Amino acid sequence: MASIDPSLISDPTEQKWVSEISEILKHQLEIDVEIPPVFIFKIPETITTEKPESYEPQHIGFGPYNHFRPGPYAKMEQKKLAVLQKVLQYHQIKDFRLTVLDKVEKLVPVIRACYEMFLQDDNSSMGWVFAIDGVFLLNLFKNYDPTKGLSVPDVMMLENQIPYTVLMEIDEALHSSSGNNFSPSVFRSFSEIHSPLKLCSPSQAPTRVEHLLHYMYHSIINNFPAIFYASPESFVCGTPSSFDLAVCAEEFNSVMDTLGDVSDFVNKPPPAEIVQLYEKIIMSLQKFSTNKIIFPSASKLEARAGFKFVVLPKDKGIVRTR
């Protein structure tokens, strides 16, 4: 029998790709929900090549980017499974697939959109990754003990983030019989201990977040006075939205107190992701400083803030210099 020319046979790799991409698209079209924006990015190689250990998890990997990274996988996979077993026993769950895994797997087509890079694994494999990592992180945040020695920098790496939606779905599955009141406050204890800057009060904390770092970032931002985020029009004195100068001074002092916590920043450099969050805060302040502010007239300053203005001789006071 004559042999068949291999070039006439379709590339099995291409066939597999067509099959996988068709299945992924099919599931995405079946879900009638708004596609979320991308919020878990890959750090550019131009940054990571200089000091890769600062951007790659050294002890534990989460999510599709890092779950199967050889070093962390060998170190922590069995521990993840041990935590999974403990949580299921605590909640008296006999069927992990039916109770948790199937619900998480249904989310995978939507979760894919949260990641910058295309996730090549099938929905079933991704469902297992998110379910195992999600249960582990949920248990960590709810029962956080800083003395346990878990690698905090790994947990706070951007590429290691697990979407909040996954954690919420798992928590609802674990409490299906007793009801649930899950919220972003699950990140509070961890963030209070490890945030390089002071967080806002729990009442001001964000109620809608994408992941741990998102919660921490907005909790830091919300701790800054509203003066830095008001529109320029709100500074026009004489209008109902104007600020008292005395109040402005008090708000400014509050900002200075907050920035005083930056000493910890210098003595113990935080992970790169938190540095980026801090830089975003500074950029927000810089953007504010470029806005045109309308200052009140001298008469209104005297009436509202107690400033006294007098006319000086030409040779006194501040003079124009070159």
The whole-chain average pLDDT of the chain stands at: 75
Whether 24 and 72 share a structural domain: yes
Per-residue pLDDT at 220 exceeds 50: yes
Query: pTM higher than 0.75 for the full model?
Result: no
Whether 269 and 293 share a structural domain: yes
How far is the first Cα of the chain from the last one, in angstroms, to the nearest whole number?
98
Whether 166 and 79 share a structural domain: yes
Tally the domains of the chain: 2
Whether 233 and 173 share a structural domain: no
Distance between CA atoms of 128 and 277, rounded to whole angstroms?
Answer: 30
Q: How many CB atoms lie within 10 A of CB 152?
A: 15
Instruction: Give percent of the chain above pLDDT 70.
Output: 59
Whether 39 and 148 share a structural domain: yes
What's the confidence (pLDDT) of residue 274? 57
Q: What is the mean pLDDT of residues 117-127?
A: 83
Token duo for residue 7: 């070039």
Per-residue pLDDT tens for 155-206? 999 899 999 999 999 999 998 877 678 999 999 999 999 998 899 999 999 9
Whether 112 and 254 share a structural domain: no
Confidence class of residue 249 from pLDDT cuts 50, 70 and 90?
very low
Least confident of 13-17, 238-242, 290-294, 313-317: 238-242
| φ, ψ dihedrals at 44, nearest 5° | -55, 145
Whether 9 is in a domain gets the answer no
Q: 87 burial class (0-12, 13-18, 19+ CB within 10 angstroms)?
A: buried
Whether 54 and 122 share a structural domain: yes
Whether 308 is in a domain gets the answer no
Confidence class of residue 109 from pLDDT cuts 50, 70 and 90?
confident
| DSSP, res 100 | I
Distance between CA atoms of 137 and 135, rounded to whole angstroms?
Answer: 6
Per-residue pLDDT at 38 exceeds 70: yes
Per-residue pLDDT at 134 exceeds 90: yes
- Reduced to 3 states, what is the DSSP secondary structure of residue 115? strand
Token duo for residue 94: 């006999």
Q: How many CB atoms lie within 10 A of CB 124?
A: 11
Whether 194 and 177 share a structural domain: no
Range of the domain at 50: 14-182
Whether 306 is in a domain gets the answer no
Whether 151 and 287 share a structural domain: no
